[in-house]
Structure 1
Amino acid sequence: MAEIERRRRRPPISCVLCRRRKVRCNRETPCSNCLRSKNASCIYENQFSQSQQESELHSSTPTIAAAAAPSLTSKSSPRAVTAATTSTPASYQSSKDIEFLKDKIKQLEEQLSQSNRTARSPIQTPGSNIEAISSRIGGTFYIHHEDTLAGQPPGISRSVTHKSRMFGQSHWITGMSLVRDILALIEPHIHEEGCRITTLMLKSKSLARSIKAKRNPPWPLPLVTDLPPKDIADELVDRYFQTAETVYRILHIPSFKREYEAHWISPAESNSAFLVQLKLVLAIGATTYDEKFTLRASAMRWVYEAQTWVSEPGFKHRLNIQYLQNNILLLLAREFVDVGPDLVWISAGTLVRIAVYMGLHKDPTRLPKMSTFIAEMRRRLWNTILELSLQLSVISGGPPFISLDMFSTEPPGNFDDEQLTVEDPPPQPESHFTQTSVAIILRKIFPARLAVVKFLNDHGSSGTYKETLQLDSELRASYKSALRILQGYKSATGSRPSEYAMDALNLLMNRYCLSLHIPFFAPAMDEAAYAFSRRVVVETSLKIWRGIFPSPLALSSQSGQSVGSPSQLSLVRLAVCASGFFRISPLQASVLIASELIGQLREEETLGPGLIRQDLLSVVREAKNWAWKCIEAGETSIKGYFLASLHVAHIEGLMQGLEGEELSRYVVREGEKAEEMCLPVLEEMLANGKDEGSTRGLEQNTPSQLVEDWDLTMSGALFDFGEMELVNWGFDENDQELSFG
């Protein structure tokens, strides 16, 4: 019986949309139906117009048909093969369909293969060019590059999306694109049998979650009167006043100390607002108490208690100066002690609104008459709120949401705190250093820094390189003026700014300068036009690192004690024990320096042997040591140490002449060693950290007994200055509004 040849389905000649709707298509491009429905893309499945189809169907030749014959599968019968070689329109169109499907399968196979490697696929959107960088180690980061139509090189990164958050250019994570090469080195080996990087990382993350679960106190945590022994409390208070209060003026020091001493005499008479204030001061001071942050568990409890107190509903009667002070201290404590530090920027917005609601954005001269004490405290607190809002915008990569025209409050006067205890004191001249001078200097350079942060993080920011250089010039000029004032203080007799205040001020300014030029750092590796930014990034990163760690001795000491001045001790301990600004700044600096060294070593391959900067190489090696000390002090994430180890291995491998597969395997081995070192430390943390989250009375223990782990009833005025009411200013005992008398 002769085999009946199966008829092939006629190829579709209607557009995709008409076929789906089952309507007649006029087969034009675009068709009439797509025009009526305003469908911008009228697509034909075979990608040919009708005229092209008719032309090709009539001009098909045996040669073309023969070329399509191998496309048939091996199961085709001789009769089918013979039919395929005939020059008929249907057979030719069938072969084209097969070729189309084969190309589609090939594309899908390539996409599947790429999904197992680090993804770098740009996704075109109307206003940006999004690059996805994915890895089993770091997750997926979407880098929003500058639109190429704006005249910038395609490498300019404007923001980064990770999980549910978006970060502006000032956030350290925008440098994620700088580590793509090292991720590409190790990613192909992660899937190999015997590679333990993923297994060890997952185990460390599981341990970290368990440690944090035991550390976190219960919520809500009511305020209790427990405090550490007085000798420890005294030291913690002193450490707070030697560090945070020298830069951010929040408290009136004589008033606080008077109330502090009264508390130890009659604890029952202290009101809850002061107890919250005291515990927040102790928590901030605990971050520089020792090298291992042995008071971490207590500090976290103090912060949780303060957060519970602040979060109570119906706080209208609390809208006074002390409530504002406690909210500012809570922001600092959360950042320093690692209690949701990455979300503090959100809380800073609430703080700005509280201050505006209380009228702090208006200068006291524009309000009903008040004492010099009250007026200056309002100016100081508004100044501090502006400073913290801007600093947190830099850290979080978020818009500052503040502007110079939203307030009229003048900078604080140049007063020492004791001067405010008398009526109508005259301010000191600018050349005389007071306890408020550093805050005044920060206010002088506030406009230039605000312009930088708006340029980097505001929505739609796409400034040109010319604007970047202009802002750089304004920032430097502003800071030079401030430095002249500081130099005058240092050369004069009498009181002078502390080393810590000077170092912290330099660190702040260098961070703004660094953030301004980082977007052009990666493009500068290929574009000579941005060489200035490359130099600024490298030298500023070195200044930031050496500003905290002047020498390797500041990181490691055989005696186990840090060496250096008291100021340097505080900065090193903040970088090791605290979170937030003082942890992120050296991390960012070390990653940038490592990227520069890798760039230099690659340039050697094309430009010939050169000299590697040993000062930069020492920073990369010190960064690994520093990251290890952070883990010893209770850091639960090992990614910092892991990344530092990969950087050291990558750079040393390149210096040894390793390349290709040999270099990759060397870096992978070093990464595994780093993870293996961290696991025993995390396991010990977990074993020693039992019941921390629910233990009460822990504050009564001495530091040697603490686990070394890590993340208004009083009558009368709080500040006893006669008519100068501070805490209850604005409301009387019956919650009735008072005048500004």
Structure 2
Amino acid sequence: MDNGNEARKRPRPVVSCLRCRDKKLRCDRSIPCTNCAKVNIASDCVYNSQGIQSARKQQRTISPENDNADMSSFISKSDGVSRFQGPGIVEAIQSRLSQVEDLDIQRRLCRIEEHLYINKPSAIQHSNLCQYQHSAGKASPRSSTPGGAPPDFLGTLVVKGSKSRYHGQNDRITLLNQFPEAKKFIDSCADEPVIRNLANEVEYLQQRVLETAYPKKRLSGVESAASFALKSLRRNLPPRAICDNLVEGYKLSFETSMRILHIPTFERQYRTFWKCPDLEPSEQSAFIPQLTAILAISFAIDQGHTIMDPAIGSYLETDALDLVSTWVEALEKKERIEMSTLQTETLLLLSRHFRNLSYDKLWRVSGSLVRSAMLMGLHLPPHAFSEISVFQAEMRKRLWMTIVEMDLQASMAAGMQSIIPDLDFTLHIPQNLNDSDFDEMSTELPPAKPLHENTSSLAQVTLAMSLPQRLKVTSLVTRTTPEMDLVKAVVEGRRLEEFLRHIPAPLKVEQALEHYLPALLNTVMLDMFIRRPLLCLYRPLLLEDRPDDLSFMEIQQVCLESSLRILEYQNDFNPCTSNLNLPNIESYWNVFQICFRSDCLRAALNVCQSIKSAPSNSQMTSPPTLPAMRVGIPSYSHPSSPQSQFATSGLAQVVENLLEGLEQRIGEPESELKDNYFLSVVLQSVRTRGPSQKKMPLLHEAAKNTLQACKNRLLQSLPPEPPRRQSIPRPMMLEQVQLPHPQASIPTCSAQIQPMQPLPYAYPPMTHVDQWGMVSTELDPYSQYQQMGMFNSSDGNVSLYDTWGL
């Protein structure tokens, strides 16, 4: 301060957030900073442009150790467009800001500009995020907000051990908060013996009156239904040796992206159960249905390799799920809000998914599960409630992320909107920890492991980090039209591509191919869950051809590359095309088809669209062998460049490979003849150039060949027919019948008894074929389909509109 007229220069640039500068607090310059995170205003933690530019100069000297450590660093800047790097980006964004009138959009774009310039190392960012998630683990709902302000939610969460119940803003318990004195008195009535005894007497008399006035509505009926289902579950439980194998298979194959259980806790309960298997089922009421659901899920992969008794397999496929569902529905309201009950419901939905539940039913059931979770308050940040233990808080985060993920995937499969509310999901991201790192006795969680270190929760953490962007894209899909602005769609799609590119190395498909099938299935599921919204966003935009639009060309290339990646996944699991010589690959092939059959079909249609849009005289490069594509989604290049082109014949061969796989599974429950038929016709239509009159005979030939191939495959799957009964060689006259007594007589009759007709062959030879190769009505054993409208006997054309509801 030697010269008061001359401003003193600061020894370091001003990079504190605006709130810390205003409050004169020490800012750690993270996003969000610790001070803003503590008061739960992370969204308002912003930096001015001068500080951003200064921070950018500092960050130029920092380089990440590897690409795998960039995942969480990308999360912190996911509101920005990472591809827009280079001179002029500030001016471009500022010019857009001047044209936007909506204040909320302006704030988002300001954060985009901010995150483009601040790029802290991923390990520090992830550490700050995890510290923010559980720093207020002991705080009360009021203490987590500044100045005693009310929490962000309007309801009330009541927690009692593993039970929790969320009461909305119009509930009696929430409305009572308006009268603190009355609430305090009511809470103290539990210690008043006079009032407590009187209340018990009134409840007893009320129950007696209800039983007398409404004898058919016995209150014990619900309990008896639950008890009956529980006893049936215990009686039909497979032997321990089978249970051990199925439980181990579940832990390896499913408890990764969809975290539902705490494995050490479940294993302890499992050992305790088998130590005392003769206990009354009521004493193990929560564990037996949970174990049965796990066995049913794991049986989808086992497929008879462990279970030799067909009765046990049939039970796990059908009756077991019905009994678990009956038990859940028959529970009382207090038992329905147990954490273990919600876990069982989630396992039940997962097991139904592997039983070929239709997409619309799956969407309805997943929506119901989301509402059950919200009734227990899982949508609220658990660190805001001191009654929730550290263990329960982490398990609530895991289970909530699993339920949200299941509803999101079911919504995309059904083509419907998700019912997930608009929340700040960064407060629900689980920590990258192994189950052995914490238990029910933990008072605090250990530091989260970096993202390049594989844990049992890494896949779910990776999915949870991309969840806000995927939800944003799926909400945009409902408003997607071929005429929409492609720039906006490309911006959102690029963000999803960045998530795909920054999947941690332990979860890359290339790494899983070197290990075993469960790891491959888990990595493919992770990739598909992130890739699905991208294709759902881009696919409708291809309906209107815009050959001169660079954004349209980029969408075309991304759709083609993602579609080829999906079709390559199905080749990895297909026993006929896979290079993996691993046991039990047929079972994983079944699971892949159940989960991603519709994705493969849509991917094949995208490839057909690329064949259609390719120039007829184009000479493209070699067929897509696809190993190079597994490294990651390549940066965008113009479709006219050689590296972005594939041979049309190679693309057609990829679709034909899928058709062969669909033909192999035509006898499986999830298969549909319509998929084979449509895809074969579409492929023939896009690979044939010329007028429609020239195409029609070829389309008929393709349809006939597809149906004939499916028919031959089904005939091979049928068991051999029993020997035919011998027919009577010639007719017998009535007079030739020998009577038991000579004196007996009957009136003579010239009528003949018609001979017994020989039983027809199961599949008679087909000799008469019309011009389209269809069998005539007289000789076709499947002529009953004509009455359904599937085939027209006049010309053999297939009527899809009558039979298949199109």
TM-score by length of 1: 0.54
The C-alpha deviation readout for 1:393-415, integer Å capped at 9, x for no partner, is 22122222324437784322232
| Aligned counterparts, 1:96-107, within 5 A | none
The answer on whether the counterparts of 2:463 and 2:530 sit within 8 Å (CA) in structure 1 is no
| Aligned counterparts, 1:273-292, within 5 A | 273-290=286-303
2:318 and 2:359 map into 1 onto residues whose CA distance is: 12
The answer on whether the counterparts of 2:481 and 2:541 sit within 8 Å (CA) in structure 1 is no
Are positions 1:642 and 2:661 aligned together? no
1:547 aligns to what? 569
2:260 aligns to what? 250
Which of 454, 470, 475 is matched with 1:433 structurally?
454
1:221 and 1:320 map into 2 onto residues whose CA distance is: 20
Report deviation, 1:354. 1.7
Distance 1:658 1:228, change over 3 A: farther
Aligned residue pairs, count: 455
The answer on whether the counterparts of 2:500 and 2:531 sit within 8 Å (CA) in structure 1 is no
| Aligned counterparts, 1:448-459, within 5 A | 448-457=469-478
1:593 aligns to what? 607
Letter in 1 for 2:384: R
Letter in 1 for 2:293: L
Distance 1:678 1:638, change over 3 A: farther
Are positions 1:616 and 2:651 aligned together? yes
Letter in 2 for 1:509: I
The answer on whether the counterparts of 2:493 and 2:534 sit within 8 Å (CA) in structure 1 is yes
Are positions 1:446 and 2:481 aligned together? no
2:442 aligns to what? 423
2:702 and 2:421 map into 1 onto residues whose CA distance is: 47
1:570 and 1:371 map into 2 onto residues whose CA distance is: 40
Are positions 1:241 and 2:251 aligned together? yes
1:35 aligns to what? none
2:321 and 2:583 map into 1 onto residues whose CA distance is: 26
2:589 aligns to what? 572
Distance 1:597 1:571, change over 3 A: farther
| Aligned counterparts, 1:80-479, within 5 A | 222=229, 223-224=232-233, 225-269=235-279, 271-290=284-303, 295=313, 298-312=316-330, 314-405=332-423, 409-421=427-439, 422-424=441-443, 425-431=445-451, 432-457=453-478, 463-479=484-500
Distance 1:583 1:257, change over 3 A: farther
1:229 and 1:652 map into 2 onto residues whose CA distance is: 55
Letter in 2 for 1:582: F
Report deviation, 1:541. 0.5
Report deviation, 1:322. 0.6
The C-alpha deviation readout for 1:331-370, integer Å capped at 9, x for no partner, is 2111121134431222222222222221222222211333
2:540 and 2:369 map into 1 onto residues whose CA distance is: 30
1:196 aligns to what? none
The C-alpha deviation readout for 1:556-576, integer Å capped at 9, x for no partner, is 17xxx9944579776533123
1:520 aligns to what? 541
1:582 aligns to what? 596
Report deviation, 1:638. 2.4
Q: Structure 2: state its 5+ residue gaps.
A: 1-226, 513-517, 622-646, 723-806
The answer on whether the counterparts of 2:482 and 2:541 sit within 8 Å (CA) in structure 1 is no
1:145 aligns to what? none
The C-alpha deviation readout for 1:614-649, integer Å capped at 9, x for no partner, is 442332122122213333444463223333444565
TM-score by length of 2: 0.50
The C-alpha deviation readout for 1:514-565, integer Å capped at 9, x for no partner, is 22210122323867552222221111011112133238xx3417xxx99445
The C-alpha deviation readout for 1:678-714, integer Å capped at 9, x for no partner, is 5537866999xxxxxxxxxxxxxxxxxxxxxxxxxxx
Distance 1:229 1:462, change over 3 A: farther
1:358 and 1:260 map into 2 onto residues whose CA distance is: 26
1:534 aligns to what? 556
Distance 1:527 1:570, change over 3 A: farther
1:525 and 1:221 map into 2 onto residues whose CA distance is: 63
The answer on whether the counterparts of 2:325 and 2:348 sit within 8 Å (CA) in structure 1 is yes
Report deviation, 1:469. 0.8
RMSD of aligned C-alpha atoms?
4.2
Letter in 1 for 2:269: E
The C-alpha deviation readout for 1:295-345, integer Å capped at 9, x for no partner, is 466323322222222222644323111111011112211112113443122
1:570 and 1:257 map into 2 onto residues whose CA distance is: 25
The answer on whether the counterparts of 1:361 and 1:408 sit within 8 Å (CA) in structure 2 is no
Letter in 1 for 2:356: D
The C-alpha deviation readout for 1:173-221, integer Å capped at 9, x for no partner, is xxxxxxxxxxxxxxxxxxxxxxxxxxxxxxxxxxxxxxxxxxxxxxx99
Q: Secondary structure at the match of 2:665?
A: helix
Letter in 2 for 1:263: F
Letter in 2 for 1:670: N
Distance 1:671 1:632, change over 3 A: closer
Report deviation, 1:226. 1.1
1:397 and 1:646 map into 2 onto residues whose CA distance is: 24
Report deviation, 1:229. 4.2
Q: Secondary structure at the match of 1:666?
A: helix
Report deviation, 1:274. 1.8
1:247 and 1:532 map into 2 onto residues whose CA distance is: 30
Distance 1:685 1:383, change over 3 A: farther
1:374 and 1:658 map into 2 onto residues whose CA distance is: 67
The answer on whether the counterparts of 1:249 and 1:436 sit within 8 Å (CA) in structure 2 is yes
Higher relative contact order (CA 8 A, sep 6+): 1
Distance 1:595 1:332, change over 3 A: same
2:769 aligns to what? none
Distance 1:402 1:321, change over 3 A: same
Q: Structure 1: state its 5+ residue gaps.
A: 1-219, 492-496, 688-741
Letter in 1 for 2:255: E
Q: Secondary structure at the match of 1:398?
A: coil
Q: Secondary structure at the match of 2:264?
A: helix
Q: Secondary structure at the match of 1:246?
A: coil
Letter in 1 for 2:558: V
Report deviation, 1:475. 1.7
2:530 aligns to what? 509
Q: Secondary structure at the match of 1:247?
A: coil
Distance 1:365 1:392, change over 3 A: same
